[in-house]
Amino acid sequence: MEVFVEVAQQRSFTAAGQRLGMTRAMVSKMVMQLEEKLGARLLHRSTREVSLTDAGRAYLAPCMTAVSQAQEAARLVAHAAQTGAALAGPLRIQAPSSFGSAWLADAVARFCLLHRQVQAELLVDDALLDPIRHGFDLTIRVGGIPDSSALAMRPLAPCRAVLCASPAYLAQWGAPQAPTDLLQHHCLHFSHLTNGTNWHFERGQGAQREEVSVRVQAGFTANNGLVLQQAAQQGLGIVYSTTFLAWRALLEGSLVPVLADWSLPLNYLSALYPASRQPSPKVRALIDFLVAEYQPVPSWDRELAAAGLLAVI
């Protein structure tokens, strides 16, 4: 979205690339990926200039808003770091264990380095604990709000699902060519998936859109994504994972994508806090810090896209 906004404003892929520190080819590729994802052409290209299509004009305003919010959050965090804004007191946070250990712990530690008087307590737990009843100032969760009247939400980052398996497993059992082929494979299942063992796939746009649901037979189930990933790396089967967890294994090649031409449902990592009161300065500051950290595209998805392992970001 940031790249598209810059191209629209500069009316040039080259000029946008210069401002963003990217090559013209990368700028063009990212805009094309966005167009493919939306199923609409956003820009007219000519040898003389770039101009917006009708769809591009309609899409530009919300994109500019989203990019502006992320940039403003970054400015707030930088200002707090420079001025040593006085944030103090206990800050109780709960997050899923995989995301909490892989990414959030590092971010919270850096936030606390900026605000030494904050006493953070981070509980990593995959149980869907009630944030209000358990006294959390902030809860990070994948998906929506269980009680929208009691909790407010702010999106932090896309949570992209990915199927992957080890090269050894695929060498022995072969790679599935269609979602229904999973019925003949060993599948590793995350027990907290909303739809249970009913895995949903889609691809294409408009009249070419296809949707398939497969109720897999889970050969191994766990309530922790890291446990499932380790089992997959040992060659046990095909794992339903997320890019924030599997990114390093995919980059190193110990896991490879499966059914990469099909998409799994897109979810979001969100920050939840009590809706009955304004978030305290330290809660708001941490949310702003995390928004700046993960938007507009989180680092794990950027690295996978740069390696050609993620088609659309």
Q: For the domain that residue 52 is a member of, what is the CATH number?
A: 1.10.10.10
Task: Decide if 263 is inside a domain.
Answer: no
Task: Give the pLDDT score at 310.
Answer: 82
C-beta neighbour count of 105 within 10 angstroms: 16
Q: What's the pLDDT band for 218 if we cut at 50, 70, 90?
A: confident
Give the contacts of 163 (CB within 8 A, at least 6 positions apart): 238, 239, 240, 241, 257, 258, 259, 264
Q: Are residues 131 and 251 in the same domain?
A: no
Average pLDDT over every residue of 9-15: 88
C-beta neighbour count of 284 within 10 angstroms: 16
CATH number of residue 93's parent domain: 3.40.190.10
Strand duo 187-190 + 238-242: pairing? parallel
Q: What's the pLDDT band for 145 if we cut at 50, 70, 90?
A: low
Q: What's the pLDDT band for 85 if we cut at 50, 70, 90?
A: low
Lowest mean pLDDT among 77-81, 108-112, 147-151, 248-252: 77-81
Task: Decide if 74 is inside a domain.
Answer: yes
Tokens for 246, please give them.
Answer: 């599997």
Task: Decide if 29 is inside a domain.
Answer: yes
Is 147 a residue whose pLDDT tops 90? Answer: no
CA atoms of 36 and 52, how far apart (whole Å): 16
Task: Decide if 279 is inside a domain.
Answer: yes
Lowest mean pLDDT among 173-177, 215-219, 250-254: 215-219
Is 51 a residue whose pLDDT tops 70? Answer: yes
Last residue of a domain, one of 81, 111, 130: 81
Task: Give the pLDDT score at 92.
Answer: 94
Task: Give the pLDDT score at 94.
Answer: 93
Is 299 a residue whose pLDDT tops 70? Answer: yes
Is 73 a residue whose pLDDT tops 90? Answer: no
By residue range, what is the domain housing residue 274?
Answer: 87-156+268-301
Task: Decide if 132 is inside a domain.
Answer: yes
- The pair phi, psi for residue 288, each rounded to 5°, is -60, -40
Is 81 a residue whose pLDDT tops 60? Answer: no
Q: Are residues 25 and 166 in the same domain?
A: no
